[in-house]
Structure formats: C-alpha cells, structure tokens
Amino acid sequence: MYCYAASSDSIVSSNGQEDHVSMGANAATKLYRIMDNLEHILAIELMNAAQGIDFRRPAKTSPVLERFLHEYRKEVPFVKEDIVMYKEIHKTVAFLNRTKFDY
C-alpha cells in the first residue's frame, strides 16, 4: 500500500498531462505512516534485542550497550511471562523518541 509512488494514483487531466505535484500531500501522508510503522518496528527490534541479551546473562555486552540497556530497563522491564505487549511497545517508542543517541 505504501510501496508505490503516489504519482501512480494521479489521473489523466488536460489531454494526457498528469499533474504529479498534486500528489505531494498524498506522498507526505504515506511517508508519515511509513515513519510511524518504522518507529514501531525499531521498538520491537529493541525489545527483542534487550530480551535476548538478558537471557544470556551473566554474559555482558559492550559498556556503551550496557549503559543503554540499563536506561532502557528503567522504563521497560524484562518480560518473564507471556503478556500482551502493546504497552511495552508504546513505552519503547516513547523511550526511543526521548533518548539522545550520543554514544
């Protein structure tokens, strides 16, 4: 749905001349939705990576990642049993949005 150019939704007007500029708003809307999806995909990837690292404890990763995970785990705890994950996904999205990545 979002993978094709917005200009392909344009209709013929003015003797076969399509106005591709008129599709700019549609393209921007698609981009907004894609970015929202990407934000959630990255949050899910972070949740999975953090869980995987915690499953391997007491093994450690790099000092930078350990600090990052320490901050992340203050907001999103280790999942010990099956739960509905949407709250953790939203917490992770919020964490990613406010975290300054200057490592």
61-92 confidence digits (pLDDT tens):
999 999 999 999 999 999 999 999 999 999 99
Contact 20, 7 (CB under 8 A): yes
- Give the SS3 label for residue 57: coil
Amino acid 13: pLDDT: 66
List pLDDT tens digits, range 11-65: 666 666 665 567 778 888 899 999 999 999 999 999 999 999 999 999 999 999 9
In sequence order, which ranges of 1-103 are alpha helices (DSSP H)? Answer: 24-55, 63-75, 86-98
What amino acid occupies position 54?
A: D
Overall average pLDDT of the 1-7 stretch = 70
Distance from C-alpha of 98 to C-alpha of 52, rounded to nearest angstrom: 23
